[in-house]
Amino acid sequence: MLSFDIFLQPEIFLLWTSFLKTAVIVGVVLTMVAYSVWAERKVSAFIQDRVGPNRVGWAGLLQPLVDGVKLVLKENFVPSGVNKFFFSLAPALAFVPALLVLAVLPFGSSLFGVPMVIANLNTGILWVFAVSSLGVYGIVLAGWSSNSKYPFLGGIRSSSQMISYEIALGLSVIPIFLITGTLNLGEIVQYQTLHGWMVFPMGMSGFNLQRLLLWIPMLISFLVFLIAMFAETNRLPFDLPEAEQELVGGYHTEYSSMRFAMFFLGEYAAMIAGAGVIVTLFLGGWSLPFVPDGGQGWLWGVVNIATFFAKVAAIIFFFLWIRWTLPRFRFDQLMKLGWYVFFEVALANIFLTAGILLYFRS
Amino acid sequence: MARPVQRPKLSLLERSYLPAIFGGLLITIRHFKDMLFGKTRVTMEYPEHTWNDDLPDWYRGAPTLVKDEHGRERCVACQLCEFICPPRAITIKPGELSKDSKWAKVEKFPEKFEIDMARCIYCGLCQEVCPEQAIFLRKDYSITGETRESLVHDKKKLYELGGVMTGLVHKWDEKK
């Protein structure tokens, strides 16, 4: 008889649970990607008084499947004059970073004693920033290797956009680390379960004047981070690199079939990962007031995971809602916004938070 | 002359765009909500609901050939429609009516009459030019086929679509 004890040795246990978690989370997120495309089409249709996909399956729910089949069956066309190596590499480079961000997101408390995070890094948020900004390389390489004007303009826009919002993105979360004293995303969520969500500190234990004062910089942080995240994920009003109207699709103009689908998947995966980061940092991650964590039984663990994904879905709906409301910013307006407004606001916010913390420490 | 436009003076709040963004979000979510709860219904879902019963009499659908109440085919193969057709969709091969036919004095009839519906632009010039009131644009608009050949309507198909038209001028009838 084969003994299963080997699976319970700490290293082996870590190995196979990590693999299992990775497989499940990638599966869940890719499904969510497919259905956020469906949601995008449905929400945009409803906002514009249209019907949206409603033929394949009930309310068009099987539409993502047939879309996928269509994209796989299409001709994978490579135009002459492209740099073939980078042309093939770019879609993967746009897709992979979005999935890598998921590695550090705590998507639940714990299930049967296994922490529901793939890699519990102490430098969690730094990993998020380091990896998610790599997604820009995919776009820039796609624009450059296509050897075509519009994709090239899209690539340039993407890089200029990146240097305008990345600083604000990074600076806006520093107040959180000043308050929690950790970069570990799991510990930030733990802090929020004890002290209330960053943007909603009421209704939790330990509410006092300090929490109330800290609420102000947290709201500013949230606003700046949210807007920077729109730019990071290339969502309207900051979808300059792929501006359909001006750039004919921007960086992915020359792409077809599965390569195009990879950009599409990457964009939506980045959106889900971005929503996950927002939820983790500001909206209490998997926590819900008066709901215990997975230590109290596996059912609560499942509830926590469901809470996390429900919050992510809510943020994604907000992304879609914004997209079908606002027009696109102009190139220079975005840079002005990034450098003149958000950079200063985020910087001042750090000092504000530090001042409040210093006042209450003395 | 250039007319200077007085730009409105925006307050600081207005210049931050936040009230406008918030107002816009309210508008879009109202549309979303109305659609979600079925308050707005503007789309007519095509194959289930059509205008078929309400098409106007002057609707220009597929061109067809008609017979009159005597069962005579009205076309005399003058080929005017063939010549006027802008996309050259019509092909006619005229034939001679036999001497013992009831309508022998008409002399000609179309031996072959084909309209290529892949070319037809539904302009209605064939109907306008016809001196015999033989070709009419009827209300069939959903002409589909799996090959180009199947989209060529032959004489049989054209009479099938056209049917019998009453109330036309009978210029070939015997004088009373």
Specify the residue for token string 């995919």: A138
User: Average model confidence (pLDDT) for chain A?
Assistant: 83
Tokens of B57: 């009499």
Are residues A51 and B45, on separate chains, in Cβ contact within 8 Å? yes
Amino acid identity of residue B73, one-letter, is E
Res A111 pLDDT > 90: no
Res B83 pLDDT > 90: yes
Q: Which of residues 12-51 of A touch B (CB under 8 A)?
A: 43, 45-51
- How many beta-carbon pairs under 8 angstroms link A with B? 34
Q: Which of residues 298-317 of A touch B (CB under 8 A)?
A: none
Per-residue model confidence as pLDDT tens digits over A242-281: 777 777 777 888 888 888 888 888 888 888 988 988 988 8
Residue A187 φ then ψ, to 5°: -70, -30
Of the given ranges (A6-20, A130-144, A210-224), which has the lowest mean pLDDT? A6-20
Q: Could you tell me if A53 and A60 are in contact, meaning their C-beta atoms sit under 8 angstroms apart?
A: yes
Q: Which of residues 71-90 of B touch A (CB under 8 A)?
A: none
| Distances B161 to A22, A148, A263, B116, B133 between C-alpha atoms, Å | 62, 51, 49, 14, 15
Angle among Cα A253, A256, A257 to the nearest 5 degrees reads: 155
Q: Select the residue of B29, B40, B45 nearest A321 (Cβ to Cβ).
A: B29
**Among positive and negative, which fits the CA dihedral A52, A55, A59, A63?**
negative
Query: What is the H or E stretch that residue B157 is in?
Result: helix B155-162
- Closest chain A residue to the Cα of B26, Cα to Cα: A325
Of the given ranges (A219-233, A251-265, A288-302, B4-18), which has the lowest mean pLDDT? A288-302
Q: Could you tell me if A329 and A238 are in contact, meaning their C-beta atoms sit under 8 angstroms apart?
A: yes
Which of A51, A103, A39, A65 lies closest to A319 in space, CA to CA? A39
pTM: 0.80
Q: Could you tell me if B74 and B66 are in contact, meaning their C-beta atoms sit under 8 angstroms apart?
A: yes
| Distances A311 to A25, A41, A107, A188 between C-alpha atoms, Å | 16, 20, 11, 16
**B28 contact A CB<8A:** yes
Are residues A46 and B32, on separate chains, in Cβ contact within 8 Å? yes
**B44 contact A CB<8A:** no
pLDDT of residue A206: 59
- Closest chain B residue to the Cα of A51, Cα to Cα: B43
- Contacting residues of B for A47, CB less than 8 Å apart: 28-29, 31-32, 35
- Closest chain B residue to the Cα of A43, Cα to Cα: B32
Given the cut 0.90, state whether the ipTM is greater than it.
no
- Contacting residues of B for A50, CB less than 8 Å apart: 43
Q: Select the residue of B25, B36, B42 nearest A325 (Cβ to Cβ).
A: B25
**A324 contact B CB<8A:** yes
> Number of H helices and number of E strands within chain A?
13, 2
Are residues A49 and B28, on separate chains, in Cβ contact within 8 Å? no
- Contacting residues of A for B45, CB less than 8 Å apart: 51, 54
What share of chain B in percent tops pLDDT 90? 30
User: Average model confidence (pLDDT) for chain B?
Assistant: 87
